[in-house]
């Protein structure tokens, strides 16, 4: 992995940092301060807010100029459309994408994140995410498993996260984001880059604190949406979407991993939370992929 300092490598592109937000008042001030306090200074911050109603927008206006604040309607929000709008309207050789609730953990986060893009064979890069102190046990475990040193996710069909990521402008213009999916637009986009022969780089040193405590209802909605998106992303038959392989076996394996993790960490909460959470997640995902397959038959 290339962790060379970009200044030493002579790679100092003009960067546009695109921060999306919606009702993130408890954490956005810290995120803004950490972003604006970066050691790498050749950047502009652009805020794309989904008409927050909790005071988030007031905080953004404390830190950014009006001409670099864009509003969109949360009721009609489509992530691909907003990301494409950002690519069209903000300047910069490199675009960095950071969610307003993903707080950089160091003042060299930005330079570490963009460093791999000096290699023209790298199409996109994403940084590590770590759980917040109030994160529930199993969501901590999921965050560690998905990110960590990157070895676990490297064995999956594909993984990427736009909550803490970057790409060069020419790549973003050549490969626009898909607007037919409402979830997992970052997975769909980066998977197309891989299929085109570009590498996806993971930089664990470019870490941001980012996690959510989803209720069972919220978990169902999210995983249904992600399953529906997977029907489109992997429509060439990359996944076995049978009830056994897509739902039942993953449910059993995840519960076993949860129990093992909970015992090692001494977390009774993880042990008790496992079965209801995984049942909801895996069932919702299978229902979502079935719904998506009705609209997106294999090509």
Structure tokens belonging to residue 217: 């209802």
| 93: confidence class by pLDDT, cuts 50, 70, 90 | very high
Q: Residue 298: is its pLDDT beyond 60?
A: no
**Taking residues 217-230, what's their average pLDDT?**
96
pLDDT, residue 9, reads: 58
pLDDT score of 4 more than 60: no
Question: Each residue of 164-196: pLDDT tens digit?
Answer: 999 999 999 999 999 989 999 999 999 999 999
Q: In the sheet where 69-71 sits, what is the strand order? A: 69-71, 43-49, 15-21, 94-99, 164-168, 122-130, 199-209, 103-104
Range 206-232 average pLDDT: 96
User: In sequence order, which residues have a C-beta less than 8 Å from that of residue 24 and are 6 or more positions away?
Assistant: 31, 52, 54, 56, 100, 101
Checking if the pLDDT of 256 tops 80, the result is yes
Q: Is 79 helix (H, G, I), strand (E, B) or coil?
A: helix
Alpha carbon distances (Å) from 271 to 19, 132, 259, 267: 36, 20, 5, 7
Per DSSP, the three-state class of 264 is helix
CB atoms under 10 Å from CB of 216, counted, come to 14
Judged against a pLDDT cut of 80, whether residue 121 lies above it is answered with yes
Which has the closest alpha carbon to 91: 73, 67, 110, 109? 67
Instruction: Check if the beta carbon of residue 21 is closer than 8 Å to that of residue 60.
Output: yes
Going along the chain from its start, the domains and CATH numbers come out as 6-209 (3.90.550.10), 216-295 (no CATH)
The pTM score is 0.92
pLDDT at 153 over 90: yes
Average pLDDT, the chain: 94
Question: What are the pLDDT digits (tens) for 48-63?
Answer: 999 999 999 999 999 9
Task: Band the pLDDT of 236: cuts 50, 70, 90.
Answer: confident
Residue 231 pLDDT class (50, 70, 90 cuts): very high
């Amino acid at each position: 992995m290339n962790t060379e300092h970009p200044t030493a490598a002579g790679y100092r592109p003009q960067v546009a940092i695109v921060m999306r937000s919606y009702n993130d008042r408890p954490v956005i001030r810290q995120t803004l301060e950490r972003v604006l306090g970066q050691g790498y200074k050749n950047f502009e911050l652009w805020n794309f807010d989904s008409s927050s109603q909790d005071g988030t927008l007031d905080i953004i206006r404390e830190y950014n100029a009006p001409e670099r604040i864009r509003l969109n309607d949360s009721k009609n929000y489509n992530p691909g459309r907003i990301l494409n709008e950002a690519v069209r309207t903000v300047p910069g050789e490199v675009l960095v994408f950071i969610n307003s609730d993903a707080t950089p953990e160091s003042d060299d986060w930005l330079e570490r994140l963009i460093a791999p893009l000096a290699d023209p064979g790298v199409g996109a890069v994403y940084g590590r995410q770590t759980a917040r102190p109030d994160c529930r046990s199993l969501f901590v475990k999921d965050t560690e498993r998905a990110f960590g040193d990157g070895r676990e996710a490297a064995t999956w069909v594909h993984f990427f996260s736009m909550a803490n990521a970057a790409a060069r402008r020419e790549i973003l213009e050549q490969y626009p984001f898909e607007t037919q999916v409402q979830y997992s637009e970052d997975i769909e986009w980066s998977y197309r880059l891989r299929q085109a022969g570009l590498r996806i780089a993971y930089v664990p040193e470019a870490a941001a604190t980012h996690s959510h405590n989803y209720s069972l209802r919220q978990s169902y909605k999210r995983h249904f949406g992600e399953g529906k998106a997977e029907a489109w992303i992997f429509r060439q038959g990359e996944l076995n979407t049978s009830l056994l392989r897509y739902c039942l076996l993953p449910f059993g394996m995840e519960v076993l991993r949860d129990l093992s993790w909970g015992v090692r960490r001494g977390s009774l909460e993880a042990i008790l939370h496992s079965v209801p959470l995984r049942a909801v997640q895996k069932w919702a995902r299978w229902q979502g992929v079935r719904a998506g397959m009705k609209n997106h038959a294999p090509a």
